[in-house]
Structure 1
Amino acid sequence: MNQHPLIAQLLKTCEQHELLPSQGTLVAAVSGGVDSMVMLHALHLLQAEYSFRVHVATADHGLRGKAGQEDADYVEAIADEWGIPCSRATLDVPGLMESENLNLEAAARQARYTFLLKTAYSVGADRIAIAHNLNDQAETVLMNIIRGTGLHGLRGMLPLAPLSEEHLREDWQEYIRPGDEEIFPEDYTIIRPLFDIPRAMIRTYAEEQGIQPRYDVTNMDTLRARNAVRHDLIPVLSRLNPNIEATLCRLSQIIQGDVAVLEQHVEQMAAVLLEWTETTPAEDGEAGEAVYLDRHEFGKLLTGTQRGLLRKVIFDLSPGVRDVSFDTIERARDLILNGHTNAQLELPEDVLLQVGYDEVTIGYGGDPVYPHHLPHLTEDQILRIDPDAEKAAITAGHHELLTYWVVEGRSRDLRPTTPLECTLMVPEGAILALRTWREGDRFKPFGMGGHSQKLADTFTNLKVPVYFRQQVPLVTINDEIAWFVAPTASGPQSRIAETFAVQGDVPQAVLRLRWQTRPLLPLTE
């Protein structure tokens, strides 16, 4: 027996994008209109053969009075007739518009998707079928062009996409009330089985199968943007290109492939260029997330990659953000490339971009937390060197500074292998101390012939972020700065003072210093 062309195309789309679950339950969003009724009919026919179960979700949005209630009644009755379980809800879209200051389209979408997530959660489904078709995709692309968009807008909808918080009302967790169980929207997937099927084929199928859908008269109201595009604009464009809807869908398919390539490239660049960390608690007492980005390396990227990287950072920090405007991305790019030190830009959802010397910090909360893999101080500490003690140690947070003497002939190579170690010439009877930066501190960098400079200038030259400078551990000998290791945008940097540097032959015992992570203490009862 030959399959109906609509069923054949639906299966082709589902197989190409792996839309149908191999088992378990699939929630079908059904309004009673021709598209969703045909989708439900097709899924109902296929569920036994493909080993999944359909569960209907239908809702009255509270916008059309008795007509909206009758639509939901109709869907419930059809589901019962076909032996399909059904969940129903009455949504207060007008109330959501007022409380959240949303337009009609946004409020209806958030209310609807929140109800669909609640239904999927309650019946143990992780896929939600929406009846968007080929013509809907063309309209979406055209609407995005009219509003102003980039590649993601030209891409339009996807046949398979994860649900995200941007689809949901702000109080979605309270609405669903899962008890102690945590829900992650991204664990649920939106699928569009009719994605490649034109509206004309859907209507023909409905007539042939005796499906009598409900009709929403508000779909003819051209004061609504989508209706104006559907009933006014597309007929005009069709006079210029009779296949305008197929052309727009083909454009979206091309862009989908290009966006996939760009996103893959951006992910690769992000793995190389971005360093994630926590921030110190903000005024609300909660720490946030932040990311470091090297300004010089960012400047080497192509413009499209720069934009993609910034979009990724913003979306990763703020999953609830629906979109980021072109102007916002361009202001961020300009600030990174040309902004002065300490310049700031507020991004969506209170994300803050802060410009350093060579680095940029983007994130929430207060200042970034000191890199956990480097030693840092919150107060001064002193360790007196005992000339008779071969080894000693001083604790600083999660790290400890080990010191041990190396006598002539015991070590052939005194050069450090990492920034976390060094070798110093220490005068007899000297006092070794660890302390933090003080106003007026000076430092004699090795290689400058004993000339000193302000320690602040040394930090500036090394591009040590301002918010880390008060925590850099300074090793002093008789209160003169001898060595330090500090975080920079390019990684930890170590500097030794000319006064205490080991040069040439080693005529006397020298002191080796090495920072290491403190060993964990064994648990005791």
Structure 2
Amino acid sequence: MIAKVKRTIQKYEMLQSGDRVILAVSGGPDSVVMAQILYLLKDDLGISLHIAHLNHRFRGKEAEEDARFVERLAQSLNLDYTSGSKNVPDFIDSRGLSAEEGARIVRYQFLNHVAKTVGAEKIALGHNANDQAETVMLHFLRGTGLRGLGGMKPTRGKIIRPLLEIKRREIESYCEENRLEYRIDSTNREFIYRRNKIRHQLLPTLEGYNPRIIHTLNRMAEVVRAESDYLIRDTDKSFKKIVSVKDEGLIEIGVHDFLSAHKALQRRLIRKCFARLTGSRKDLDFGHIERTRLLILKGGTGKRVDLPGNVSVVKSYDQAIFKKRGQKTEPIWYHTKVHIPGATTIFETGRELTAEVIPIEDLGEEYRNASENEAYMDMGKIELPLYARPRCHGDLFRPLGAPGRKKVKDYFIDRKVPLSKRKDSLILLDQKGIIWIAGFCIDDRVKIDDETREVLYIREPAIQPQGNLC
């Protein structure tokens, strides 16, 4: 069994020579065997060990006896030892958590604190193959995707699980053969916990259909984890391609690229956007994902779906916007004088404008094919100085070629410009009003005509194309 544990450590590259490892020891057979085997392997692996034990205060004197037992075990192995105590019942009551979830949160907080205090690189947990099978079934019964069917990962950050390929009966046999003492948690027999029902009722029943059910579930979990990891990498590539993270509270998905993605990838992108905003996938279920997916695929502009975690998804023309409800999305304010000629940097946003004055005889016909990030205007019709600022409520201008003036807001609506891009719009003004909406259109008042003698040429190198010059 020692060789089997070593193979698992090497297979998943759990440890490196020189690592200091926290052993999470509850006193049960799994953690006791893990401590004993890693103690026997420590010189071979070139690692040092530190035992940590947390009293969750669920079982009164029984839990106190567990702590004393683990302290004696650490002394017998001549290993450093840290103990802690936390009133988990009060913790879960104050936060409305289940006993299992609350205990897990507190336990990981404690173990990470110990690791940081002693400078440990890894935290070893005693989960075995039966625990893995139970976890997979637990996720299956709750309803899950590939992530849940993959069960517990052998390694995750600092966490390692050296016994994950060892069955419980192997651990119990090792204890008996080596006369190892251990503690029994009386709550492991209480059927108020779903995991205990799976352990003592469901899996024994399934063994009547498949005597190797523990092995089968573990093998399936390993296969699923590998395929899930592949899909995660594929999702990350697609996320970088079609998703734009504007700030901590605003994310956009390009609808056209989303439509071309496979349905499975669409769902993963939605989960990733949600997790990016909230920090987790907690409370996001299949129904939420499907409603969001259908909004992006078929919803009209202005339609929205509210998700857990105070997140809303709003359809805006060719964009789907994920945002925290109540998130302020007003543009950063600036009012910057534009140098003519020369370069002007808007320090608040990092944007830059360059301007020059060109005699009409040197212009040629290139202005007729101006790109979205440049403008050619009649210098004689402009009243200096010029200023750049964001769009303001009530802004009016006369689009090039239009019969009259209209609100900039209405111009954007007519052009089906997404809300987030409207927020980022840059307005260039002279002393009479707007002369250019960067990336979109000049004002008809400053157009070039037969009387033009000098042309003001302005461009914004960093702007993203939004439309054609009117």
Task: Give the TM bin, normalised by the shorter chain.
Answer: 0.7 to 0.9
Paired position in structure 1 for 2:236: 267
Counterpart position of 2:208: 239
* CA distance in structure 1 between the partners assigned to 2:243 and 2:255 by the alignment: 11
**Matches of 1:377 and 1:426, distance apart in 2:** 27
Q: Could you tell me how far apart the structure 1 residues matched to 2:242 and 2:115 are?
A: 38
**Amino acid in structure 2 at the alignment position of 1:511:** L
Aligned-partner Cα distance in 1 for 2:68–2:436: 78
Change (3 A) 1:479 1:225: same
Query: Residue 406 of structure 1 is aligned with which of 358, 364, 367?
Result: 358
Measure, in 1, the Cα distance between the counterparts of 2:126 and 2:442: 68
| Amino acid in the other structure paired with 2:148 | G
Q: Is the 8 A contact 1:433 1:479 kept in 2?
A: no
Q: Give the Å deviation of 1:235.
A: 1.3
**Structure 1 residues 369 and 158, CA gap change in structure 2 (3 angstroms):** farther
Change (3 A) 1:13 1:396: closer
Letter of the aligned partner of 1:62 in structure 2? R
**C-alpha displacement at 1:445, in angstroms?**
4.0
Q: Return the match for 1:456 from 379, 403, 409.
A: 409
Q: Distance in 1 between matches of 2:219 and 2:400?
A: 63
CA contact (8 A) 2:129 2:164 kept: yes
Number of residues of Structure 1 aligned to a counterpart in Structure 2:
456
Instruction: Tell me, yes or no, if the aligned pair for 2:343 and 2:353 is still in contact at 8 Å.
Output: yes
TM-score by length of 2: 0.87
- Matching residue's letter, 1:261: Y
Structure 2 counterpart of 1:196: 165
Q: Is the 8 A contact 1:421 1:512 kept in 2?
A: yes
Corresponding residue for 2:72?
77
Tell whether 2:133 aligns with 1:138.
yes
- Contact kept? 1:353, 1:362, Cα under 8 Å: yes
RMSD: 3.1
Query: Given that residues 377 and 472 in structure 1 are in contact (C-alpha distance below 8 angstroms), is that contact kept between their aligned partners in structure 2?
Result: no
Matched, 1:421 2:386: no
Alpha carbons of 1:153 and 1:427: their partners in 2 closer, same or farther (altered >3 Å)?
same
> Do residues 230 (structure 1) and 230 (structure 2) align?
no
Query: Over residues 46-86 of structure 1, what are the superposed CA-to-partner deviations in whole Å (9 max), with x where a residue is unaligned?
Result: 11121111111112221112111111111110110111111
Q: Matched residues, percent identical?
A: 31
User: 1:516–1:238: structure 2 CA closer, same or farther, 3 Å change rule?
Assistant: closer
Say whether the 8 Å CA contact 1:437–1:472 is kept in structure 2. no
Answering whether residue 301 of structure 2 is matched by residue 341 of structure 1, we say yes
Q: CA deviation at 1:347?
A: 3.0
Kept after mapping to 2: 8 A contact 1:321/1:348: no
Q: Which moved more, 1:453-462 or 1:230-239?
A: 453-462
Cα deviation for residue 444 of structure 1 reads 3.0
Distance in 1 between the 2:161 and 2:129 partners? 10
Q: 2:120 corresponds to which letter in structure 1? A: A
- Cross-structure match for 1:494: 440
Q: Distance in 2 between matches of 1:429 and 1:321?
A: 54
- Equivalent residue, structure 2, for 1:292: 252
In structure 2, the CA distance between the partners of 1:474 and 1:97, relative to structure 1 (3 Å rule), is closer
The whole-number CA distance in structure 1 between the counterparts of 2:223 and 2:71 is 39
Q: CA deviation at 1:335?
A: 2.5
Q: Secondary structure at the match of 1:349?
A: coil
- Helix, strand or coil at the partner of 2:44: coil
Partner of 2:289: 329
Matching of residue 54 in structure 1 with residue 49 in structure 2: yes
Counterpart residue identity of residue 404, structure 1: E
Q: Which residue number corresponds to residue 443 of structure 1? A: 398
CA distance in 2, matches of 1:430, 1:113: 66
Out of 324, 328, 332, the position equivalent to 1:367 is 328
Q: 1:65 aligns with which of 60, 64, 70?
A: 60
* 2:167 counterpart of 1:208: no
1:16 and 2:7 aligned: no
Is contact 1:21–1:127 with CA below 8 Å preserved after alignment? no
2:455 paired residue number: 510
**Which residue is 1:168 aligned to?**
none
Extract unaligned runs of 5+ from structure 1.
1-5, 163-188, 279-287, 371-375, 384-388, 486-492, 518-525
Which stretch of the first structure deviates more once superposed, 266-275 or 415-424? 415-424
Q: 1:97 to 1:82 in 2, by over 3 A?
A: same
Moved more, 341-350 or 269-278: 341-350
Could you tell me the TM-score, scaled by structure 1's length? 0.78
SS in structure 2 of the partner of residue 96 of structure 1: helix
With 190-199 and 345-354 compared, the bigger mean Cα shift is at 345-354
Secondary structure of the 1:510 match is strand
For residues 253 and 438 of structure 1, do their structure 2 counterparts lie closer, same or farther at Cα, with a shift above 3 Å needed? closer
2:267 paired residue among 307, 312, 337: 307
CA distance in 1: counterparts of 2:21 and 2:461, whole angstroms: 54
C-alpha displacement of 1:323? 5.6
- Cα-to-partner distance string for 1:103-151 (whole Å, 9 max, x where unaligned): 1111111121111111111111131111111111111111111111111
Distance 1:498 1:441, change over 3 A: closer
CA, structure 1 residues 378+502, in 2 after alignment: closer, same or farther (shift >3 Å)?
same
Measured after TM superposition, the shift of residue 195 of structure 1 is 0.9
